[in-house]
Structure 1
Amino acid sequence: MLKVIFYTKEVCSLCDDAKALLLMLQHDYPFELEERDIYTNDAWLEEYQLLIPFVKINDTTLDCEQVNIVSLEEALKENV
């Protein structure tokens, strides 16, 4: 099954919106969603602090400025 890694943090409205989009798309494109709170890992915090919400689908990555319904759906279609 396809695995989507979602880098996030608590109290982040953009992250909440991105998660809602992912959960909506999960109905049409089955995938496992792994949420990673960047504050639980120093390496994640350093790498993704300014990029969250950050989504990784295989080799496709989308940062906060790229995450939207169109880009997420395209990335899922490419990787299913």
Structure 2
Amino acid sequence: MITYYSRPNCRLCEEGMSLLLLVQEDKEFDIVEVNIEDDDELHEKYMMKIPVVEQNGQIIQSGLLDYITLLEEIEG
């Protein structure tokens, strides 16, 4: 399972989700999207890093995401 930290009206987050969905075509995994604005602690932790892709408690990538890194790092 991938946890995807983002927020509304974030173009980088929308682009990152599109990349994740492309990777999901090659690997089988679920995505849970978390709006950091719903949680003060998450907002403080990730507001300058979003989008953030996390799997098994490990951050795989944040900010400007790229397909190759996601494909290589995500366990499917």
Instruction: State the TM-score, normalized to the length of structure 1.
Output: 0.86
CA deviations 1:39-61 (Å, max 9, x no partner) are 00111101000000110022541
Paired residues of 1:60 and 1:75 also in contact (CA < 8 A): no
- Counterpart of 2:50 in structure 1 is 52
Q: How does 1:63-74 map to 2 (within 5 A)?
A: 63-65=62-64, 67-74=65-72
- Counterpart of 1:17 in structure 2 is 15
Question: Which whole-Å CA distance do the structure 2 matches of 1:63 and 1:43 have between them?
Answer: 17
The runs of 5 or more residues in structure 1 that have no matched partner are none
CA deviations 1:26-48 (Å, max 9, x no partner) are 11111110000000011110100
Percent identity over the alignment is 28
RMSD: 1.2
Q: Which runs of 4+ in 1 moved over 4 A?
A: none
Q: Would you say how many aligned residue pairs link Structure 1 and Structure 2?
A: 75
Instruction: State the TM-score, normalized to the length of structure 2.
Output: 0.90
Question: Which whole-Å CA distance do the structure 2 matches of 1:70 and 1:24 have between them?
Answer: 11
The runs of 5 or more residues in structure 2 that have no matched partner are none
